[in-house]
Chains A and B, each alone.
Chain A
Amino acid sequence: MSAKVKDRIATGVIIFFSALIIAVLVGMLAYILVRGISHIDWHFLTSEPETIKAGGGIGPALFNSIYLLVLTLIITIPLGIGAGIYMAEYAKEGRITASIRLIVEVLSSFPSIVVGLFGLLVLVNTFQFGFSVLSGALVLTIFNMPLMVRVTEQAFRSVPIEQKEAGLAMGLSHWKIITSILFPVALPAIITGTILAAGRIFGEAAALLFTAGMTTPKLDFTDWNPTSLHSPINPLRPAETLSVHIWKVNSEGLSPDAAQIAAGASAVLVIMVLLFNLLARWVGRLLYRKFTSIK
């Protein structure tokens, strides 16, 4: 076989496999959306799930997912950005910094189920938080911190050195330079990264089985007292999220329309993830434009 024929064949194989990947994604999205969207209506999005009867909705699960995400971000953002700033600005290359880097790497590759079990042992049982939104949010913090650290560190490192030198020339303190010169420049990249990470948290399930729990008490959306069990904003109530609900319906669902519910809920989940992706791109571009037009 001549070299040219081989080249043609190889190119053909590469193009074929690439097309296959695109086809798999398009096929999956089409499947999810076509099967799911017909099932999505206002009733499905807002009503309570049913265990045995047909016609259950995903209202509480959807609310729990969003609430858990918000709580997680409130905890993670300041901590992750702080640690990221340390890695970018204060850490000196050496053994300690190298081991912190290793820790971030290991933390981000821990299986989510192991982190969930850790949450079960320490947060749910030892600290007595029970199966709760708070336990779930703290466990998700463990996942999200390494991501935030990496995003922040990269964003700070990509700020042009002249900006920092200008601040130093003015005699500002290092912390002042970080907060008022470097941080605003790094902000668009941090926000984009945070939104992408939020998409991932939104779909996480394995760790939440053992921390946020697999049930939701009956929620009363007129009760905003954070200590009442039926209040939606009580951080110490159990909360089954959308992803956990999909898993539960698929593996032990008893209702006759379990497959449709799973399809509808999957469609909602995928649409939310797509929205997070688009939002990240849009916000990133918007902030970038705003930032660069100042000059």
Chain B
Amino acid sequence: MKAKQETPLLFRKHRAEEWIGRIYTTFCVALLIVIIVSIVYFVASKGIATFAINGVSLSEFLFGQTWQPDSNKFGALPFIFGSFVTSLLAAVIASPLSVCAALFMTEITPNWGKKILQPVVELLAGIPSVVYGFIGLSVLVPFLRDIFPGQGLGVAAGSVVLSIMILPTITSIATDALSSLPRNLKEASYGLGATRWQTIAGVVLPTVLPSVLTGVVLGMARAFGEALAVQMVIGNAPHIPRSLFESASTLTSVITLNMSNTVMGSVQNNALWSMALILLLMTFVFVLIVRLLERRARI
């Protein structure tokens, strides 16, 4: 590296450079703040209009079970229920699989396990959601239709597709947590004569539990907000399903299907924005839970 002789002396040039850098990078960060404030402001102002301007009651929207915009019934409970059920089920399916994959990579075969499973997990994360939807529609749905009662489209198909989509999120966070575990914890356990499983179940998993839960919550957040893949396989019926194989709807699938068919400013359109607002608020809830869990994990 050649030192330029004149720079140390040119104090003013220094100042100018410093200011350009500071102003430019501060501008970029300020842009992030502007973006998030405006997203929250615009979505909230549209979402609240349903209740403030159109006079739909909040309790009807949150707990009403009939969605019939033509007869002025805006009960969104089936969609809220659908979103929660599918993302919870997806987390229930994906979590044990992810933890096993993470254990495989860190505890059982640290060398070639990582070489095989790591790229697999990265690829699963990279596959676009519409491709998951397409595979769900053309493989999973016919499969479910043949084995179980019903059309195949429904909560079960949605949850399975979502579980594969969130698997990489949980796996990578669990793997990070497992591989950053201090060695002596495990060595102490082995030294006492414990088997590998006793060490994993008694020492390793309890220690990394908060981090694994962080991964699960992040995965659920992703499942909750996922739109197109779910919309393709869930069947989109506007009522609360009575079984796993019955067609249902989620907040995202209703927005996807109806937003372009409604007129901006109409009650039905505003009700869709209220659903978007629910999605937005749930994101904040998920981030909050993740923050709390991370604080637990650090101690």
- A residues engaging B (CB < 8 A)? 3-4, 6-7, 9-11, 13-15, 17-18, 20-22, 24-25, 28-29, 31-32, 78-83, 85-87, 89-90, 100, 102-107, 109-115, 117-118, 120-122, 125, 142, 145-146, 149, 166, 170-176, 178-179, 181, 196, 199-200, 202-206, 209-210, 214, 243-244, 246-247, 250-251, 259, 262-263, 266, 269-270, 273-274, 276-277
Contact = CB atoms under 8 A, between A and B. Distances in A.
A149 to B, nearest CB: 7
Contacts of B260: 209-210, 214
Tell me the interface secondary structure of chain B in the complex: helix
Interface string B38-66: 11001100100000000000000000000
B25 A83 contact: yes
B283 A109 contact: yes
Contacts of B29: 82-83, 86-87, 100
B135 A32 contact: yes
Interface in B1-43: 1, 3, 7-8, 13-15, 17-18, 20-22, 24-29, 31-33, 35-36, 38-39, 42-43
Contacts of B279: 111, 113-114
B100 A18 contact: yes
Given A203-B130, A243-B130, A6 B7 contact: no
Given A24-B164, A111-B226, A246 B134 contact: yes
Contacts of B121: 21
Given A112-B227, A263-B134, A203 B127 contact: yes
Interface of B: 1, 3, 7-8, 13-15, 17-18, 20-22, 24-29, 31-33, 35-36, 38-39, 42-43, 46, 96-97, 100-101, 103-105, 108, 113, 116-117, 120-124, 126-131, 133-135, 137-139, 164, 167, 194-198, 200-201, 218, 221-222, 224-228, 231-232, 252, 255-256, 259-260, 264, 273, 276, 279-280, 283-284, 286-287, 290-291
B18 A173 contact: yes
Task: Identify which of B20, B28, B283 gathers the most chain A CB atoms within 10 Å of its CB.
Answer: B28
Contacts of A3: 194-195, 197-198
The 8 A-B pairs at the shortest CB distance, nearest first, are namely A203-B128, A111-B225, A175-B21, A82-B28, A171-B8, A86-B25, A17-B100, A83-B28
Contacts of B222: 109
A166 B117 CA distance: 41
Contact of B14 (A9, A173, A199): A173
B39 to A, nearest CB: 5
A178 B138 CA distance: 51
Contacts of A22: 116-117, 120
Contacts of A196: 126
Given A203-B128, A206-B227, A17 B117 contact: no
A174 B21 contact: yes
A250 B232 contact: yes
A86 B24 CA distance: 9
A114 B197 contact: no
Nearest to A180: B1
A32 B209 CA distance: 36
Contacts of A251: 231-232
Given A122-B38, A166-B1, A209-B256, A202 B128 contact: yes
A14 B128 contact: no
Contacts of B164: 24
B126 A15 contact: no
A175 B31 contact: no
Nearest to B30: A83
B248 to A, nearest CB: 16
Task: Identify which of A86, A120, A171, A274 gathers the most chain B CB atoms within 10 Å of its CB.
Answer: A86
Contact of B131 (A120, A174, A206, A269): A269
B26 A28 contact: no
A65 to B, nearest CB: 10
Contacts of A15: 104, 108
A206 B133 CA distance: 12
Given A100-B32, A118-B42, A25 B120 contact: yes
Given A82-B28, A175-B21, A273 B126 contact: yes
B297 to A, nearest CB: 15
Given A117-B255, A203-B131, A90 B22 contact: yes
Nearest to B9: A171
B215 to A, nearest CB: 13
Contact of B276 (A82, A117, A166, A269): A117
A81 to B, nearest CB: 8
A231 to B, nearest CB: 25
Contact of B104 (A14, A109, A111): A14
A79 B31 contact: yes
A31 B132 CA distance: 12
A110 B279 CA distance: 8
B26 A277 contact: no
16 contacts: A3-B194, A6-B195, A18-B101, A22-B116, A22-B117, A106-B36, A106-B283, A106-B287, A107-B32, A111-B283, A145-B31, A172-B7, A181-B1, A205-B128, A262-B138, A274-B123
